[in-house]
């Protein structure tokens, strides 16, 4: 069992904080397992509800306190798994929270856009929210030495960090699982809950984004390829973000005339998912896209660390129209930190334009020999 980064925080909130605890994250990353593990160590009487089962929907969407009390009985804690499946879940949780002050409530959801829309307004001030992603290198570092992590790095890049992937042995088993994830689970909620008219276009868009991971993305070009407006493409990417499949980085700038800001870069939360969409599970030594794959992996791992460690700041890439660039930039506590991501070891040098424009900013190069501090 891999000890997840948010385990202790979740346990403390359930024991000592009255707020409703919400755990968001994509399917198959271990939300249910994590909550069940925590609940097993909490000495209270509890009821667990799987909202994939339709028998619970009528009661938990009823706005009827008596009905919900009959369901809960004398339990002191209620756990609702996949709560996004229940309509009006937010207002019903508000009724429970306001009417039963001693009841502990924890819910999970695999689609942030739907659950957030239902919960945000009715539960303002009543929730504590966490996000759970595929396994982080930070979490593995508690079990394995730096040598062991680096020894498995190529497998992490190729097959990603989903919990089951890390437990499977053999390339064929891993490939089969990733292909099932991409076809059955990955955007199931996006398709079900967003009323997308052209569901086939979601897959095509994801494949195009997989090819362009780490590169500047033109919504106009994507729209032209998919025969859709760039506004529709943007809305689809927004749904994929809220479904925890991809995320965007915008360009950093304090000098709009020199620096690129109008286009974003898009990355996948998991490189195994990206490779499955590309149907390319070659090891790094045999890949033409190794640079973008390594960049995607590191920036996704950094995103997990920022979330789990509650680091506050903003994340960007930096590029000028003349071609100078940095793969990744963070602005924290009024300071700028620039990073160049390279697969081949060696000492890099900050672009002269970066040094001239931001003389007080730091610069770091990240490679397979020297990346653990960045993600752990």
Report the candidate in 35, 34, 36, 79 with the shortest Cα–Cα distance to residue 60. Answer: 79
Model pTM score? 0.93
The 10 Å CB-count burial string (b at 16+, else e) for 274-298 is bbbbbeebeebeebebbebbbbbbb
- The series of mean pLDDT values per 10 residues for the chain, 376 residues long, is 93 92 92 96 95 94 96 97 90 95 94 71 88 97 96 97 95 95 74 69 90 93 92 89 91 81 92 96 95 97 96 93 93 94 88 93 94 96
For residue 119, what pLDDT is reported? 79
Which domains does the chain show, CATH number per domain? 7-131 (3.40.50.300), 137-316 (1.10.10.10)
**Is the Cβ–Cβ distance between 101 and 18 less than 8 Å?**
yes
For residue 137, what pLDDT is reported? 98
Residue count (the chain):
376
Sheet of 216-217, strands arranged across: 216-217, 264-268, 246-251, 314-319, 325-332, 335-341, 362-366
Spatial distance between the Cα atoms of 105 and 94, rounded to a whole number of angstroms: 11
**Is the Cβ–Cβ distance between 63 and 75 less than 8 Å?**
no
Spatial distance between the Cα atoms of 239 and 216, rounded to a whole number of angstroms: 19
Spatial distance between the Cα atoms of 111 and 184, rounded to a whole number of angstroms: 15
Q: Which residues pair with 130 in a beta bridge?
A: 23
For residue 203, what pLDDT is reported? 85
For residue 282, what pLDDT is reported? 96
DSSP SS3 for 188: helix
Report the candidate in 248, 225, 223 with the shortest Cα–Cα distance to residue 233. Answer: 223
Residue 58 CB coordination number (10 Å): 11
């Amino acid at each position: 069992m891999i000890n997840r980064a948010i385990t202790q925080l979740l346990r403390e909130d359930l024991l000592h904080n009255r707020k409703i605890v919400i755990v968001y994250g994509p399917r198959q990353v271990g939300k249910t397992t994590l909550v069940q593990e925590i609940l097993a160590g909490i000495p209270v009487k509890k009821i667990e509800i799987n909202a994939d089962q339709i028998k619970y929907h009528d009661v938990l969407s009823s706005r009827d306190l008596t009905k919900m009390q009959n369901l809960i009985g004398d339990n002191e804690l209620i756990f609702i798994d996949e709560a996004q499946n229940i309509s009006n879940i937010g207002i019903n949780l508000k009724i429970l929270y306001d009417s039963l002050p001693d009841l502990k409530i924890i819910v999970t959801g695999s689609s942030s856009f739907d659950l957030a829309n239902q919960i945000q307004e009715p539960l303002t001030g009543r929730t504590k929210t966490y996000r759970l992603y595929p396994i982080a290198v930070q979490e593995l570092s508690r079990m394995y030495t730096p040598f062991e992590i680096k020894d498995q790095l190529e497998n992490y890049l190729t097959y990603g960090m989903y919990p089951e992937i890390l437990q499977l042995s053999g390339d064929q088993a891993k490939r089969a699982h990733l292909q099932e994830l991409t076809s059955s689970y990955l955007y199931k909620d996006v398709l079900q809950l967003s009323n997308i008219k052209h569901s086939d276009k979601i897959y095509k868009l994801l494949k195009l984004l997989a090819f362009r991971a780490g590169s500047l993305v033109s919504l106009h070009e994507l729209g032209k390829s998919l025969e859709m407006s760039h506004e529709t493409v943007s809305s689809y990417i927004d749904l994929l973000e809220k479904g925890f499949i991809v995320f965007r980085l915008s360009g950093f700038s304090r000098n709009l005339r020199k620096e690129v800001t109008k286009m974003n870069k898009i990355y996948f939360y998991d490189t195994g998912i990206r490779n499955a969409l590309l149907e390319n599970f070659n090891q790094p030594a045999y890949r033409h896209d190794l640079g973008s794959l390594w960049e995607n992996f590191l920036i996704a791992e950094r995103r997990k660390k920022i979330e789990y460690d509650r680091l506050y700041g903003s994340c960007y890439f930096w590029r000028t129209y003349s071609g100078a660039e940095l793969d990744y930039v963070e602005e924290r506590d009024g300071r700028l930190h620039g990073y160049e991501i390279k697969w081949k070891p060696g000492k890099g040098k900050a672009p002269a334009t970066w040094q001239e424009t931001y003389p007080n900013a730091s610069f770091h190069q990240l490679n397979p020999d020297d990346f653990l501090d960045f993600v752990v």
